[in-house]
Amino acid sequence: MTCSSSISAAPESLHPSLWLASQLARGDTRCIDTGHLALSAHLPGGGWPTGTLVDLLLPQPGIGEMRLLRPALAAVATRRVVLLQPPHPPQALALATLGVQPSQLIWLRAGSTADALWAAEQVLRSGSCGALLFWQNHVRGEHLRRLHLAAQAGETLFFMMRPLAAAQDASPAPLRLALRPQSGGIEISFVKRRGPQRDATLFLPLTSYLPNRHAPVDRTTPAPVAARGVHTQLVH
């Protein structure tokens, strides 16, 4: 009797991995702050989770994804940042402006998909790198699961950049975000997260490369999801 009432009162007080469907999961993994307050409020754990696979779905490379990751990369750049199969040759000078020193960068090119997947697994298993960014268009589900498992062995920040069409396919990644370019920033839609489904997109202003000629347009960012602790009644 008392047991059932306590469950309906606060399931999250029973075990850290329990949460209500309307709440964001409390991160049991370590998270790196995204550096964007509006985005952190919508992510379980309040940041990019380390040691898990994070899917970023892009319509094409070069839409501001690196600027989105800039604060997180700068935070982990005490260790190496590995770029595996980027779509175009990365430019060290530009990455230095993003806060990653050239001495911390590694660029891996792989001849085949199998080699690329193997390299990703080796980097994740060694656990000696701060972040791994992996561009791959076609990955099979079992390979994703394997990479996710390898990521769990360490505390590497692991982003997988995949085309937008991959949003239709299932993925073991606990966090999947679709990114679209917007004027002066980036638009994020949450394909999957440990928390309530969110259909509205989130606009995030990014630091621009352009000189400031216009005042930024004010956009209202939607209110964050009800924080943990606000009890919602289940309707029977």
Partner 1 sequence: MFTPSWSTDAGSVVLEQERVLVASQLALDAGVRAGMRRGGVVMLLPDARLHARAPALEAEALQAVALALLQYTPQVTEGAEATLLMDVGASLRLFGGIRALCRRVHADVRTLGFTASLACAPTARGAWLLARANAGRAVRMESLLRRLDRLAVLLVPPARPFADWFDGIGCHTLGDLRRLPRPGLQRRCGRALLDLLDAAYGLTSELHTWISPPETFRARLELYDRIDDAELLLAGARCLLVQLTGWLCARQLAVERITLRLEHERGRVARAPTGIEIVLAEPAWRDEHLVRLLRERLARLALDAPVIGLALEALQVRPMAPPNASLFPEPGGSEEDRMRMLELLAARLGPENVLQPLPLADYRPEQANVWVPVQQTVSDKARAAQLPPDVLSLPRPTWLLARPIALLMRDRRPFYGSPLQVTSNPERIEAGWWDGLGTRDYFIAEGQDHTLYWVYRERIGVDEREPRWYLHGLFG
Interface residues toward partner 1, by CB under 8 A: 59-67, 79-80, 86-98, 102-103, 105-111, 115, 118-119, 122-123, 126-130, 155, 180-184, 209-211
CB of 16 to partner 1, least distance (A): 21
* CA distances to 53, 141, 176, 198, 236 from 165, in Å: 18, 15, 13, 19, 38
Nearest CB to partner 1, comparing residues 175 and 186: 186
CB of 9 to partner 1, least distance (A): 37
* CA distances to 20, 113, 157, 229 from 14, in Å: 12, 43, 29, 13
Segment (H or E) for 204: strand 202-205
* CA distances to 85, 196, 208, 224 from 135, in Å: 6, 28, 24, 30
Nearest CB to partner 1, comparing residues 105 and 167: 105
CB of 41 to partner 1, least distance (A): 24
Where are the alpha helices (H) located in 101-219, listed in sequence order?
A: 113-126, 141-152
User: Could you tell me the sign of the dihedral formed by the alpha carbons of 61, 64, 68, 69, in that order?
Assistant: positive
CB of 64 to partner 1, least distance (A): 7
CB of 111 to partner 1, least distance (A): 7
Nearest CB to partner 1, comparing residues 118 and 138: 118
Distance CA 177, CA 194 (A): 12
Nearest CB to partner 1, comparing residues 3 and 218: 218
Nearest CB to partner 1, comparing residues 16 and 61: 61
